Chains A and B, each alone.
Chain A
Protein backbone atom coordinates (compact mmCIF):
# COMPACT_ATOMS: atom_id res chain seq x y z
CA UNK A 1 0.00 0.00 0.00
CA UNK A 2 2.68 2.45 1.03
CA UNK A 3 4.90 1.28 -1.82
CA UNK A 4 2.11 1.96 -4.34
CA UNK A 5 1.79 5.53 -3.06
CA UNK A 6 5.53 6.09 -3.19
CA UNK A 7 5.94 5.05 -6.84
CA UNK A 8 4.08 7.97 -8.52
CA UNK A 9 5.88 10.39 -6.18
CA UNK A 10 9.28 8.95 -7.10
CA UNK A 11 8.39 9.13 -10.79
CA UNK A 12 7.38 12.76 -10.32
CA UNK A 13 10.66 13.50 -8.54
CA UNK A 14 12.65 11.85 -11.33
CA UNK A 15 10.80 13.93 -13.91
CA UNK A 16 11.38 17.07 -11.83
CA UNK A 17 15.10 16.24 -11.62
CA UNK A 18 15.30 15.81 -15.39
CA UNK A 19 13.49 19.12 -15.95
CA UNK A 20 15.77 21.08 -13.62
CA UNK A 21 18.93 19.56 -15.11
CA UNK A 22 17.67 20.19 -18.63
CA UNK A 23 16.90 23.84 -17.88
CA UNK A 24 20.33 24.36 -16.28
CA UNK A 25 22.09 22.64 -19.18
CA UNK A 26 20.23 24.63 -21.81
CA UNK A 27 20.91 27.94 -20.05
CA UNK A 28 24.62 27.10 -19.77
CA UNK A 29 24.64 26.33 -23.49
CA UNK A 30 23.11 29.70 -24.34
CA UNK A 31 26.26 30.79 -26.20
CA UNK A 32 25.74 27.99 -28.71
CA UNK A 33 21.95 27.80 -28.78
CA UNK A 34 21.48 31.55 -29.17
CA UNK A 35 24.66 32.89 -30.80
CA UNK A 36 23.07 36.27 -31.58
CA UNK A 37 23.11 37.06 -27.86
CA UNK A 38 20.62 38.78 -25.61
CA UNK A 39 21.44 42.39 -26.52
CA UNK A 40 21.50 42.45 -30.31
CA UNK A 41 18.53 44.36 -31.68
CA UNK A 42 17.00 43.20 -34.93
CA UNK A 43 15.47 46.60 -35.73
CA UNK A 44 13.70 45.33 -38.82
CA UNK A 45 11.66 42.86 -36.75
CA UNK A 46 10.38 44.31 -33.47
CA UNK A 47 7.63 42.36 -31.65
CA UNK A 48 7.96 39.64 -34.26
CA UNK A 49 6.18 36.28 -33.89
CA UNK A 50 8.19 33.05 -33.56
CA UNK A 51 10.17 32.01 -36.63
CA UNK A 52 13.12 29.80 -37.45
CA UNK A 53 15.48 32.68 -36.73
CA UNK A 54 13.73 33.74 -33.51
CA UNK A 55 12.20 30.73 -31.79
CA UNK A 56 10.15 32.81 -29.34
CA UNK A 57 9.87 35.93 -31.45
CA UNK A 58 11.41 39.27 -30.55
CA UNK A 59 10.64 41.93 -27.97
CA UNK A 60 9.67 45.55 -28.66
CA UNK A 61 13.20 46.59 -29.64
CA UNK A 62 13.85 43.49 -31.72
CA UNK A 63 15.92 41.43 -29.26
CA UNK A 64 15.63 37.68 -29.57
CA UNK A 65 13.34 36.49 -26.77
CA UNK A 66 14.71 32.93 -26.79
CA UNK A 67 18.24 34.22 -26.15
CA UNK A 68 16.98 36.51 -23.39
CA UNK A 69 15.13 33.62 -21.73
CA UNK A 70 18.28 31.46 -21.79
CA UNK A 71 20.60 34.14 -20.44
CA UNK A 72 17.99 35.37 -17.98
CA UNK A 73 17.67 31.84 -16.60
CA UNK A 74 21.33 31.94 -15.54
CA UNK A 75 20.90 35.14 -13.56
CA UNK A 76 17.59 34.32 -11.93
CA UNK A 77 18.35 30.66 -11.17
CA UNK A 78 21.62 31.60 -9.52
CA UNK A 79 20.74 34.76 -7.62
CA UNK A 80 17.12 34.33 -6.55
CA UNK A 81 17.86 31.16 -4.52
CA UNK A 82 20.89 32.92 -3.01
CA UNK A 83 18.67 35.81 -2.01
CA UNK A 84 16.06 33.40 -0.62
CA UNK A 85 18.81 31.74 1.41
CA UNK A 86 19.79 35.11 2.94
CA UNK A 87 16.20 35.89 3.92
CA UNK A 88 15.66 32.38 5.31
CA UNK A 89 18.83 32.56 7.41
CA UNK A 90 17.80 35.98 8.75
CA UNK A 91 14.30 34.70 9.52
CA UNK A 92 15.78 31.70 11.33
CA UNK A 93 18.12 33.89 13.35
CA UNK A 94 15.60 36.56 14.31
CA UNK A 95 12.43 34.47 14.62
CA UNK A 96 13.95 31.19 15.68
CA UNK A 97 16.28 32.71 18.24
CA UNK A 98 13.59 34.99 19.66
CA UNK A 99 11.17 32.08 20.06
CA UNK A 100 13.87 29.98 21.66
CA UNK A 101 14.86 32.67 24.16
CA UNK A 102 11.25 33.61 24.91
CA UNK A 103 10.10 36.29 27.33
CA UNK A 104 11.10 39.87 26.60
CA UNK A 105 13.23 38.81 23.60
CA UNK A 106 10.26 37.18 21.95
CA UNK A 107 8.06 40.22 22.53
CA UNK A 108 10.74 42.57 21.20
CA UNK A 109 11.37 40.45 18.12
CA UNK A 110 7.66 40.17 17.34
CA UNK A 111 7.18 43.90 17.72
CA UNK A 112 10.20 44.55 15.53
CA UNK A 113 9.01 42.20 12.78
CA UNK A 114 5.47 43.62 12.87
CA UNK A 115 6.90 47.11 12.51
CA UNK A 116 9.22 45.90 9.75
CA UNK A 117 6.25 44.48 7.84
CA UNK A 118 4.36 47.77 7.98
CA UNK A 119 6.99 50.29 6.90
CA UNK A 120 7.09 51.63 3.32
CA UNK A 121 10.43 50.13 2.24
CA UNK A 122 9.91 51.55 -1.24
CA UNK A 123 11.54 54.77 0.01
CA UNK A 124 14.54 52.98 1.43
CA UNK A 125 15.06 51.36 -1.95
CA UNK A 126 14.83 54.73 -3.67
CA UNK A 127 17.46 56.04 -1.22
CA UNK A 128 19.73 53.06 -1.92
CA UNK A 129 19.55 53.86 -5.63
CA UNK A 130 20.41 57.48 -4.92
CA UNK A 131 23.50 56.47 -2.93
CA UNK A 132 24.82 54.19 -5.67
CA UNK A 133 26.80 55.84 -8.48
CA UNK A 134 24.97 56.04 -11.81
CA UNK A 135 27.72 54.15 -13.62
CA UNK A 136 27.59 51.03 -11.52
CA UNK A 137 28.41 47.82 -13.37
CA UNK A 138 25.53 45.44 -14.23
CA UNK A 139 27.05 42.72 -12.06
CA UNK A 140 27.20 45.01 -9.03
CA UNK A 141 23.66 46.24 -9.60
CA UNK A 142 22.39 42.65 -9.82
CA UNK A 143 24.20 41.61 -6.64
CA UNK A 144 22.96 44.67 -4.74
CA UNK A 145 19.41 44.09 -5.94
CA UNK A 146 19.24 40.51 -4.74
CA UNK A 147 21.05 41.33 -1.50
CA UNK A 148 18.51 44.06 -0.75
CA UNK A 149 15.67 41.62 -1.47
CA UNK A 150 17.17 39.09 0.89
CA UNK A 151 17.66 41.69 3.62
CA UNK A 152 14.06 42.94 3.36
CA UNK A 153 12.18 39.68 2.76
CA UNK A 154 12.62 37.83 6.06
CA UNK A 155 10.01 39.42 8.32
CA UNK A 156 6.85 37.47 7.45
CA UNK A 157 8.34 34.05 8.05
CA UNK A 158 10.29 35.23 11.11
CA UNK A 159 6.89 35.87 12.68
CA UNK A 160 5.73 32.32 12.01
CA UNK A 161 9.10 30.88 13.04
CA UNK A 162 9.02 32.67 16.39
CA UNK A 163 5.74 30.93 17.23
CA UNK A 164 7.12 27.56 16.17
CA UNK A 165 10.32 28.04 18.16
CA UNK A 166 8.32 29.22 21.17
CA UNK A 167 6.30 25.99 21.04
CA UNK A 168 9.48 23.91 20.73
CA UNK A 169 11.09 25.64 23.71
CA UNK A 170 8.79 23.81 26.12
CA UNK A 171 8.62 20.53 24.24
CA UNK A 172 9.67 17.27 25.86
CA UNK A 173 12.81 16.59 23.89
CA UNK A 174 14.15 20.11 24.53
CA UNK A 175 13.45 19.71 28.23
CA UNK A 176 15.26 16.41 28.19
CA UNK A 177 18.20 17.93 26.33
CA UNK A 178 18.38 20.72 28.92
CA UNK A 179 18.23 18.19 31.72
CA UNK A 180 21.14 16.40 30.06
CA UNK A 181 23.19 19.56 30.35
CA UNK A 182 22.78 21.01 26.86
CA UNK A 183 22.32 24.76 26.84
CA UNK A 184 22.59 27.90 24.81
CA UNK A 185 23.63 27.87 21.18
CA UNK A 186 24.27 24.14 21.01
CA UNK A 187 20.73 23.38 22.17
CA UNK A 188 19.36 25.85 19.61
CA UNK A 189 21.46 24.58 16.71
CA UNK A 190 21.19 20.85 17.42
CA UNK A 191 17.60 20.49 18.64
CA UNK A 192 15.49 23.55 17.91
CA UNK A 193 16.65 24.68 14.49
CA UNK A 194 16.34 21.28 12.73
CA UNK A 195 12.74 21.07 13.94
CA UNK A 196 11.98 24.38 12.28
CA UNK A 197 12.92 22.90 8.90
CA UNK A 198 9.35 22.57 7.48
CA UNK A 199 8.68 26.26 7.99
CA UNK A 200 12.16 27.20 6.75
CA UNK A 201 11.69 25.11 3.61
CA UNK A 202 8.31 26.74 2.97
CA UNK A 203 9.90 30.17 3.40
CA UNK A 204 12.76 29.30 1.07
CA UNK A 205 10.59 27.96 -1.75
CA UNK A 206 8.06 30.76 -1.57
CA UNK A 207 10.81 33.39 -1.59
CA UNK A 208 12.44 32.32 -4.85
CA UNK A 209 9.63 33.24 -7.28
CA UNK A 210 8.65 36.19 -5.07
CA UNK A 211 12.19 37.59 -5.35
CA UNK A 212 12.31 36.95 -9.08
CA UNK A 213 9.16 39.02 -9.46
CA UNK A 214 10.29 41.63 -6.94
CA UNK A 215 13.54 42.12 -8.87
CA UNK A 216 11.45 43.14 -11.85
CA UNK A 217 9.49 45.65 -9.78
CA UNK A 218 12.74 47.10 -8.44
CA UNK A 219 13.51 48.10 -12.00
CA UNK A 220 10.96 50.84 -11.50
CA UNK A 221 13.24 52.37 -8.86
CA UNK A 222 16.44 52.06 -10.85
CA UNK A 223 17.60 48.96 -9.03
CA UNK A 224 17.15 45.56 -10.61
CA UNK A 225 19.11 44.01 -13.43
CA UNK A 226 20.53 46.77 -15.62
CA UNK A 227 19.84 46.86 -19.35
CA UNK A 228 20.60 45.05 -21.55
CA UNK A 229 21.03 42.10 -19.11
CA UNK A 230 17.88 39.99 -19.07
CA UNK A 231 16.28 38.29 -16.10
CA UNK A 232 13.09 36.34 -15.63
CA UNK A 233 11.64 39.26 -13.76
CA UNK A 234 12.22 41.71 -16.62
CA UNK A 235 10.79 39.15 -19.06
CA UNK A 236 7.72 38.75 -16.87
CA UNK A 237 7.24 42.52 -16.82
CA UNK A 238 6.47 42.25 -20.54
CA UNK A 239 3.24 40.52 -19.55
CA UNK A 240 1.91 43.71 -18.00
CA UNK A 241 1.28 45.11 -21.47
CA UNK A 242 -0.29 41.93 -22.79
CA UNK A 243 -3.96 42.58 -23.34
CA UNK A 244 -4.80 39.51 -25.36
CA UNK A 245 -2.92 36.33 -24.53
CA UNK A 246 -4.45 34.53 -27.49
CA UNK A 247 -2.76 36.75 -30.06
CA UNK A 248 0.75 36.46 -28.62
CA UNK A 249 0.82 33.28 -26.52
CA UNK A 250 4.60 32.89 -26.96
CA UNK A 251 5.10 35.79 -24.57
CA UNK A 252 3.84 33.50 -21.81
CA UNK A 253 6.83 31.16 -22.21
CA UNK A 254 8.98 32.85 -19.49
CA UNK A 255 6.04 32.53 -17.08
CA UNK A 256 5.51 28.86 -17.98
CA UNK A 257 9.23 28.19 -17.62
CA UNK A 258 9.29 29.80 -14.18
CA UNK A 259 6.24 27.77 -13.10
CA UNK A 260 7.73 24.52 -14.36
CA UNK A 261 11.12 25.12 -12.73
CA UNK A 262 9.64 26.20 -9.38
CA UNK A 263 7.24 23.26 -9.29
CA UNK A 264 10.11 20.92 -10.15
CA UNK A 265 12.26 22.27 -7.32
CA UNK A 266 9.41 21.90 -4.87
CA UNK A 267 8.66 18.35 -5.97
CA UNK A 268 12.34 17.41 -5.85
CA UNK A 269 12.83 18.49 -2.30
CA UNK A 270 9.34 18.08 -0.80
CA UNK A 271 9.22 16.16 2.47
CA UNK A 272 9.33 12.40 1.86
CA UNK A 273 7.10 11.77 4.92
CA UNK A 274 4.50 14.21 3.67
CA UNK A 275 3.57 11.84 0.92
CA UNK A 276 3.05 8.82 3.21
Chain B
Protein backbone atom coordinates (compact mmCIF):
# COMPACT_ATOMS: atom_id res chain seq x y z
CA UNK B 1 0.00 0.00 0.00
CA UNK B 2 1.37 3.40 -0.85
CA UNK B 3 2.18 6.02 1.75
CA UNK B 4 0.58 8.76 -0.32
CA UNK B 5 -2.59 8.48 -2.31
CA UNK B 6 -3.45 11.20 -4.77
CA UNK B 7 -7.06 12.13 -4.71
CA UNK B 8 -9.39 14.99 -5.63
CA UNK B 9 -11.55 16.41 -2.83
CA UNK B 10 -14.50 18.74 -3.24
CA UNK B 11 -16.31 21.37 -1.27
CA UNK B 12 -19.83 21.20 0.03
CA UNK B 13 -21.53 23.60 -2.35
CA UNK B 14 -20.59 21.52 -5.34
CA UNK B 15 -22.63 18.55 -4.17
CA UNK B 16 -25.55 19.80 -6.23
CA UNK B 17 -23.52 20.37 -9.34
CA UNK B 18 -20.85 17.81 -9.51
CA UNK B 19 -22.05 14.26 -8.83
CA UNK B 20 -22.24 13.65 -12.57
CA UNK B 21 -19.23 15.75 -13.38
CA UNK B 22 -17.06 13.94 -10.82
CA UNK B 23 -18.14 10.59 -12.10
CA UNK B 24 -17.20 11.82 -15.52
CA UNK B 25 -13.87 13.08 -14.14
CA UNK B 26 -13.03 9.51 -13.26
CA UNK B 27 -14.20 8.24 -16.62
CA UNK B 28 -12.29 10.88 -18.48
CA UNK B 29 -9.09 11.06 -16.48
CA UNK B 30 -8.44 7.94 -14.52
CA UNK B 31 -6.83 5.74 -17.09
CA UNK B 32 -4.73 8.47 -18.61
CA UNK B 33 -2.32 8.41 -15.70
CA UNK B 34 -1.30 4.84 -15.98
CA UNK B 35 -1.13 4.36 -19.71
CA UNK B 36 2.38 3.99 -21.03
CA UNK B 37 2.38 7.53 -22.23
CA UNK B 38 0.95 8.87 -18.99
CA UNK B 39 2.50 11.13 -16.36
CA UNK B 40 3.93 8.19 -14.41
CA UNK B 41 5.37 6.39 -17.42
CA UNK B 42 3.46 3.19 -16.74
CA UNK B 43 4.58 3.00 -13.08
CA UNK B 44 1.04 3.17 -11.70
CA UNK B 45 -2.44 1.77 -11.99
CA UNK B 46 -5.79 3.52 -11.85
CA UNK B 47 -6.95 3.64 -8.25
CA UNK B 48 -10.45 2.64 -7.17
CA UNK B 49 -10.44 3.46 -3.48
CA UNK B 50 -8.43 4.37 -0.40
CA UNK B 51 -6.62 1.02 -0.35
CA UNK B 52 -3.99 -0.11 -2.82
CA UNK B 53 -4.22 -3.62 -4.36
CA UNK B 54 -0.82 -4.24 -2.75
CA UNK B 55 -2.62 -4.26 0.61
CA UNK B 56 -4.05 -7.64 -0.29
CA UNK B 57 -6.19 -8.28 2.78
CA UNK B 58 -7.99 -4.94 3.01
CA UNK B 59 -8.33 -4.18 -0.69
CA UNK B 60 -11.87 -4.78 -2.04
CA UNK B 61 -11.10 -6.79 -5.18
CA UNK B 62 -14.70 -6.50 -6.41
CA UNK B 63 -14.13 -2.83 -7.24
CA UNK B 64 -12.97 -2.10 -10.77
CA UNK B 65 -11.56 1.13 -12.19
CA UNK B 66 -13.73 2.93 -14.73
CA UNK B 67 -12.24 2.69 -18.21
CA UNK B 68 -11.31 5.83 -20.11
CA UNK B 69 -14.46 6.71 -22.10
CA UNK B 70 -14.97 10.43 -22.71
CA UNK B 71 -18.01 9.74 -24.91
CA UNK B 72 -19.72 7.83 -22.12
CA UNK B 73 -18.86 10.68 -19.74
CA UNK B 74 -20.48 13.25 -22.04
CA UNK B 75 -23.52 11.05 -22.47
CA UNK B 76 -24.01 10.79 -18.71
CA UNK B 77 -23.69 14.54 -18.38
CA UNK B 78 -26.24 15.11 -21.11
CA UNK B 79 -28.61 12.69 -19.39
CA UNK B 80 -28.39 14.92 -16.32
CA UNK B 81 -29.26 18.09 -18.21
CA UNK B 82 -25.80 19.39 -19.18
CA UNK B 83 -25.34 20.29 -22.81
CA UNK B 84 -22.37 21.35 -24.93
CA UNK B 85 -22.57 24.68 -26.73
CA UNK B 86 -19.85 26.43 -28.72
CA UNK B 87 -17.16 24.27 -27.20
CA UNK B 88 -18.30 24.84 -23.61
CA UNK B 89 -20.44 22.67 -21.36
CA UNK B 90 -23.51 24.39 -19.92
CA UNK B 91 -25.78 23.27 -17.10
CA UNK B 92 -29.59 23.28 -17.22
CA UNK B 93 -29.68 26.97 -16.33
CA UNK B 94 -27.26 27.87 -19.11
CA UNK B 95 -24.23 28.48 -16.83
CA UNK B 96 -20.80 27.48 -18.12
CA UNK B 97 -19.39 24.62 -16.09
CA UNK B 98 -16.15 25.99 -14.68
CA UNK B 99 -14.26 25.23 -11.50
CA UNK B 100 -10.78 25.41 -10.03
CA UNK B 101 -8.40 22.73 -8.82
CA UNK B 102 -5.89 23.74 -6.17
CA UNK B 103 -2.79 21.75 -5.46
CA UNK B 104 0.52 22.36 -3.78
CA UNK B 105 2.99 24.19 -5.97
CA UNK B 106 6.41 22.64 -6.00
CA UNK B 107 4.98 19.14 -6.34
CA UNK B 108 5.57 18.54 -10.03
CA UNK B 109 3.62 15.24 -10.21
CA UNK B 110 0.50 16.89 -8.76
CA UNK B 111 0.82 19.99 -10.94
CA UNK B 112 1.10 17.78 -14.01
CA UNK B 113 -1.85 15.66 -12.91
CA UNK B 114 -3.92 18.82 -12.57
CA UNK B 115 -2.88 19.90 -16.06
CA UNK B 116 -3.87 16.50 -17.45
CA UNK B 117 -7.26 16.67 -15.72
CA UNK B 118 -7.67 20.18 -17.16
CA UNK B 119 -6.99 18.90 -20.66
CA UNK B 120 -9.30 15.89 -20.34
CA UNK B 121 -12.21 17.87 -18.93
CA UNK B 122 -11.59 20.54 -21.52
CA UNK B 123 -12.49 17.98 -24.17
CA UNK B 124 -15.92 17.74 -22.52
CA UNK B 125 -16.23 21.53 -22.54
CA UNK B 126 -15.58 21.88 -18.81
CA UNK B 127 -13.28 24.79 -18.00
CA UNK B 128 -10.82 23.92 -15.26
CA UNK B 129 -8.48 26.48 -13.69
CA UNK B 130 -5.34 24.99 -12.18
CA UNK B 131 -4.18 26.98 -9.17
CA UNK B 132 -0.93 25.81 -7.57
CA UNK B 133 -0.62 27.32 -4.08
CA UNK B 134 2.10 27.27 -1.48
CA UNK B 135 1.56 24.36 0.86
CA UNK B 136 0.50 26.18 3.98
CA UNK B 137 -2.00 28.37 2.17
CA UNK B 138 -3.40 25.21 0.66
CA UNK B 139 -3.73 23.46 4.02
CA UNK B 140 -5.45 26.52 5.46
CA UNK B 141 -7.98 26.55 2.63
CA UNK B 142 -8.67 22.83 2.89
CA UNK B 143 -8.70 22.25 6.63
CA UNK B 144 -9.75 25.59 8.12
CA UNK B 145 -11.36 28.01 5.69
CA UNK B 146 -12.85 25.36 3.34
CA UNK B 147 -12.46 27.92 0.57
CA UNK B 148 -11.82 25.75 -2.47
CA UNK B 149 -13.70 23.85 -5.12
CA UNK B 150 -11.50 20.87 -5.85
CA UNK B 151 -8.02 19.85 -4.72
CA UNK B 152 -5.39 17.32 -5.69
CA UNK B 153 -3.60 16.12 -2.58
CA UNK B 154 -2.60 13.02 -0.72
CA UNK B 155 -3.27 12.09 2.88
CA UNK B 156 -0.23 10.60 4.56
CA UNK B 157 -1.28 7.09 5.47
CA UNK B 158 1.35 4.81 6.94
CA UNK B 159 -1.04 2.34 8.56
CA UNK B 160 -2.15 -0.80 6.73
CA UNK B 161 -5.14 -1.10 9.06
CA UNK B 162 -8.21 1.00 8.11
CA UNK B 163 -8.57 2.20 11.71
CA UNK B 164 -5.69 4.54 10.87
CA UNK B 165 -8.09 6.36 8.53
CA UNK B 166 -10.82 7.04 11.12
CA UNK B 167 -10.03 10.75 11.09
CA UNK B 168 -11.03 10.90 7.43
CA UNK B 169 -14.10 8.73 7.32
CA UNK B 170 -15.90 9.74 10.51
CA UNK B 171 -18.14 12.70 9.63
CA UNK B 172 -17.29 14.52 12.88
CA UNK B 173 -13.52 13.99 12.58
CA UNK B 174 -10.86 16.63 11.89
CA UNK B 175 -9.79 15.47 8.44
CA UNK B 176 -13.26 14.76 7.09
CA UNK B 177 -12.97 16.84 3.94
CA UNK B 178 -16.59 16.92 2.70
CA UNK B 179 -19.47 18.36 4.78
CA UNK B 180 -16.75 18.99 7.34
CA UNK B 181 -16.99 18.72 11.11
CA UNK B 182 -20.71 17.92 11.29
CA UNK B 183 -22.93 15.05 12.27
CA UNK B 184 -23.59 12.98 9.15
CA UNK B 185 -25.35 15.18 6.63
CA UNK B 186 -26.25 12.32 4.31
CA UNK B 187 -27.41 8.78 4.87
CA UNK B 188 -24.35 7.29 3.22
CA UNK B 189 -22.01 9.26 5.51
CA UNK B 190 -24.00 7.95 8.44
CA UNK B 191 -23.60 4.43 7.08
CA UNK B 192 -19.84 4.92 6.78
CA UNK B 193 -19.72 6.21 10.37
CA UNK B 194 -21.52 3.10 11.56
CA UNK B 195 -19.35 0.70 9.56
CA UNK B 196 -16.05 2.30 10.62
CA UNK B 197 -17.03 2.20 14.28
CA UNK B 198 -18.16 -1.38 13.89
CA UNK B 199 -14.91 -2.56 12.33
CA UNK B 200 -12.94 -0.82 15.08
CA UNK B 201 -15.06 -2.54 17.76
CA UNK B 202 -14.56 -6.16 16.74
CA UNK B 203 -11.52 -8.44 16.66
CA UNK B 204 -12.96 -10.78 14.01
CA UNK B 205 -10.87 -10.03 10.90
CA UNK B 206 -13.50 -11.32 8.49
CA UNK B 207 -16.19 -9.12 10.01
CA UNK B 208 -13.84 -6.16 9.91
CA UNK B 209 -13.01 -6.92 6.28
CA UNK B 210 -16.71 -7.12 5.42
CA UNK B 211 -17.40 -3.75 7.05
CA UNK B 212 -14.49 -1.99 5.41
CA UNK B 213 -15.28 -3.54 2.01
CA UNK B 214 -18.72 -1.96 2.26
CA UNK B 215 -17.10 1.40 3.14
CA UNK B 216 -14.99 1.16 -0.01
CA UNK B 217 -18.08 0.35 -2.09
CA UNK B 218 -19.99 3.35 -0.70
CA UNK B 219 -17.02 5.64 -1.42
CA UNK B 220 -16.81 4.30 -4.97
CA UNK B 221 -20.56 4.89 -5.47
CA UNK B 222 -20.78 8.35 -3.90
CA UNK B 223 -17.33 9.59 -4.96
CA UNK B 224 -16.65 12.20 -2.26
CA UNK B 225 -13.00 11.63 -3.17
CA UNK B 226 -11.72 10.52 -6.54
CA UNK B 227 -8.75 8.25 -6.24
CA UNK B 228 -6.50 8.77 -9.21
CA UNK B 229 -3.54 6.42 -9.12
CA UNK B 230 -1.81 3.79 -7.07
CA UNK B 231 1.84 4.40 -7.82
CA UNK B 232 4.43 1.67 -7.87
CA UNK B 233 6.90 1.91 -5.03
CA UNK B 234 10.18 2.49 -6.83
CA UNK B 235 13.58 2.27 -5.15
CA UNK B 236 17.07 2.90 -6.39
CA UNK B 237 20.05 1.23 -4.78
CA UNK B 238 23.65 1.79 -5.78
CA UNK B 239 25.49 -1.22 -7.18
CA UNK B 240 28.10 -0.60 -4.50
CA UNK B 241 25.62 -1.48 -1.74
CA UNK B 242 25.19 -5.10 -0.64
CA UNK B 243 22.37 -6.62 1.41
CA UNK B 244 19.67 -4.26 0.10
CA UNK B 245 16.14 -5.65 0.07
CA UNK B 246 13.84 -2.74 -0.74
CA UNK B 247 10.26 -2.97 0.48
CA UNK B 248 7.04 -1.12 -0.24
CA UNK B 249 6.62 0.78 3.00
CA UNK B 250 8.92 3.58 4.12
CA UNK B 251 11.82 3.46 4.84
CA UNK B 252 11.94 1.42 1.66
CA UNK B 253 15.67 0.92 1.18
CA UNK B 254 17.16 1.09 4.64
CA UNK B 255 14.65 -0.66 6.87
CA UNK B 256 17.44 -3.22 7.35
CA UNK B 257 20.22 -0.64 7.73
CA UNK B 258 22.16 -2.88 10.11
CA UNK B 259 22.63 -5.39 7.28
CA UNK B 260 23.67 -2.96 4.54
CA UNK B 261 27.35 -2.87 3.57
CA UNK B 262 29.51 -1.53 0.78
CA UNK B 263 31.02 -4.08 -1.60
CA UNK B 264 34.73 -4.95 -1.36
CA UNK B 265 35.74 -2.86 -4.39
CA UNK B 266 34.14 0.30 -3.00
CA UNK B 267 35.57 -0.32 0.45
CA UNK B 268 39.05 -0.75 -0.98
CA UNK B 269 38.83 2.47 -2.93
CA UNK B 270 38.02 4.54 0.19
Question: What is A's interface to B at a CB cutoff of 8 Å?
Answer: 39-46, 60-62, 126, 129-130, 134-136, 219-222, 226-228, 241
Contacts of A60 in B (CB 8 A): 39, 108, 112
- Chain B residues with CB under 8 A of A62: 37
A-B contact list, 5 entries, CB within 8 Å? A46-B37, A135-B100, A226-B131, A227-B114, A227-B130
The answer on a CB contact under 8 Å between B137 and A129 is yes
Q: Is the CB of B137 within 8 A of A135?
A: no
Q: Which of B89-126 contact A (CB under 8 A)?
A: 98-100, 102, 105-106, 108, 111-112, 114-116, 118-119, 122
A130 to B131, CA, bound (A): 11
CB-CB < 8 A to A134: which residues of B? 100, 102, 129, 131, 148-149
B-side interface mostly? mixed
In the complex, the answer to whether A41 meets B119 with C-beta atoms within 8 Å is yes
20 more A-B residue pairs beyond the given contacts A227-B111, A241-B108, with a C-beta to C-beta distance below 8 A: A39-B119, A39-B122, A41-B116, A46-B41, A61-B39, A61-B115, A62-B37, A134-B100, A134-B148, A134-B149, A135-B129, A136-B129, A220-B134, A221-B133, A221-B134, A226-B129, A226-B130, A227-B114, A227-B115, A228-B119
Tell me if A45 and B119 are in contact (CB < 8 A). no
**In the complex, are the beta carbons of A228 and B115 less than 8 A apart?**
yes
Question: Considering residues A42, A126, A134, which has the most beta carbons from chain B within 10 angstroms of its beta carbon?
Answer: A134
Interface presence of B35 (CB below 8 A): yes
In chain B, positions 210-237 with a C-beta closer than 8 Å to chain A are none
- Tell whether, in the assembled complex, residue B35 and residue A43 are in contact, meaning their CB atoms are under 8 Å apart: yes
Q: How far is the CA of A241 from the CA of B106 in the complex (A)?
A: 12
Known: A60-B112, A134-B129, A228-B118. A222 touches B37 (CB 8 A): no
A126's partner among B37, B39, B134 (CB-CB below 8 A) is: B134
Q: Is B32 an interface residue (CB 8 A)?
A: yes
What are the residues of chain A within 8 A of B122 when measuring CB–CB? Answer: 39
Q: How far is the CA of A185 from the CA of B141 in the complex (A)?
A: 49
Taking CB atoms, residues of chain A closer than 8 Å to B32 are 43
- Of chain A, the residue at the smallest CB distance from B32 is A43
Bound form: Cα–Cα A62–B40 in Å: 12
